[in-house]
A = this chain, B = another copy of it.
């Protein structure tokens, strides 16, 4: 087994030279995040990921979690690792300072999150869910809820969950049936069954704070009748100590393809007198609150795609350097060499490396836009940044996760027959990655959001859609112009320009068809999401190439920049041509998606 080494240099390159860390640290509220501090955090986080989390990842995969009579026991080492995680302050790191967090920019916390996810998606899900719950309570909860729950949750001794899905309500949350009945004392009694509740029950925290979507007895049907409640595993006494066990229980846990280290719980609320719940925010607005959190959670799942791809790459690279097999073609010595010298293994590694770099760059860039959207005092800049966040969050989520399944699969392939043997470790990354295009909204849900809300309904002052997309297109065009001025980057200029043309064409086609033929437009939504990911990932790699080339032209002999140029050229030649193929699916292929009647399948 290889050991995870955080790619700190590439992370810092992206933060500093593509995502504008310096500007982010100068935003109001982030002044304490100096570049020196960020560097120290990255180094420490990298160590924690390598030394504490990475070693338990395969243990969790093998052992899974065990359920007995409602009690879930995590795999060996998880409890201790989580305890250390909390004690060393990592849980609080991304949280606002108000309740004990460090208030780091999203840009920085995203890089740190990537490390946790590389080391173990299963483990990282626990703090990720807690952070999401904290955000919902902080933004929408009463002061009493905030004061009672947030300090412990920020610290991490209590963890959080999101209870959305029910058996009949998956992608369509309007079908939620769980009930919440007011008790007249400000509390509610909740009944219902929730499924797919990540870390819904476990033995790593003193208390588990469930956020639950449910309906009041008089609630209107559909999305406008869903409210958000907080229901703790143990009720909390006025002095903050833990009281009675609430009437909610983990009925079972799922047997999954991957992320075995994390319990995926079926939660049963109110089998007896009803689970005590507290309303978060106003009645009937629960779904909206969930969606405000969702963008951040989706960025985070996109980072899972980045993280697991990086981990699979490192694992495959380690094997490719060690495994001796055959003399490479054209090698006149005839002596067997490490397989990294064979052209197709090299191609696979370049594929994994360059795509992971592109995904990382786009995710961090969007994270930086989120910081600007929240904190930039210039209203226009904040608004433009928010437009980029809205447009590209579904892309980071959908494209990075779909790609991660392919990249982790390539990781298996690099290992040959050994790749299929579980003990080799490559399978786990693929099995773990396979959930990422599904949860927090499937790729289709992301793509529908992108094409519907973020494109067609994103109208400018004249009622014409695609406002943010056009802004993005102009920015990419500026990069093409800069590339064209540099003869050693002309191949990238050419490929990016062709990709941009295809992106524009597909965008205009969707804008022209969404209102009149929404089914046909959405039939091309996933291909459009994928092409947007490749085009914007290619844009990031092109920007990286400009930076690297400038350093080398100024006399730098840093190998990092040479490597970055190599992966940028590779991405341009191997990934950007796919944009046109996806665009053809959108513009030429939509009709054929719906042409076969359901009965003839």
Contacts and interface: CB of A to CB of B under 8 A. Distances in A.
A438 B422 contact: no
A336 B563 contact: no
Contacts of A186: none
Given A412-B434, A563-B600, A573 B569 contact: no
Contacts of A420: 256-258, 434-435, 438
Contact of A171 (B329, B416, B596, B601): B416
B444 A434 contact: no
Interface stretch (A108-116, A208-216, A338-346, A503-511): A338-346
B413 A174 contact: no
A573 B598 contact: no
Given A423-B255, A588-B573, A196 B417 contact: yes
A520 to B, nearest CB: 8
Number of copies: 2
A317 interface: yes
A592 B563 contact: no
Nearest to A339: B171
Interface stretch (A132-140, A296-304, A574-582): A574-582
B600 A585 contact: no
Interface string A541-585: 000000000000000000100110011011011100110110011
B566 A257 contact: no
A347 interface: yes
Interface string A329-365: 1100000101011111111011001000000000000
Interface residues of A, number: 97
A592 B434 CA distance: 29
Nearest to A599: B559
A373 interface: no
Contacts of A19: none
Contacts of A325: 170-172, 175
A141 to B, nearest CB: 27
Interface string A429-452: 011001101110011100110001
A417 B254 CA distance: 11
Contacts of A423: 255
A589 interface: yes
Contacts of A601: 317, 321, 340, 349, 353, 563
A490 interface: no
Contacts of A578: 578, 581
Contacts of A577: 580-581, 584-585, 588
Given A409-B434, A574-B592, A577-B581, 5 more contacts: A170-B417, A171-B325, A175-B326, A321-B598, A563-B596
13 contacts: A168-B324, A170-B418, A172-B325, A258-B420, A321-B598, A330-B518, A343-B522, A343-B593, A344-B447, A409-B434, A413-B443, A416-B442, A574-B585
**The 4 nearest A-B residue pairs measured at CB:** A573-B589, A172-B326, A344-B444, A566-B596
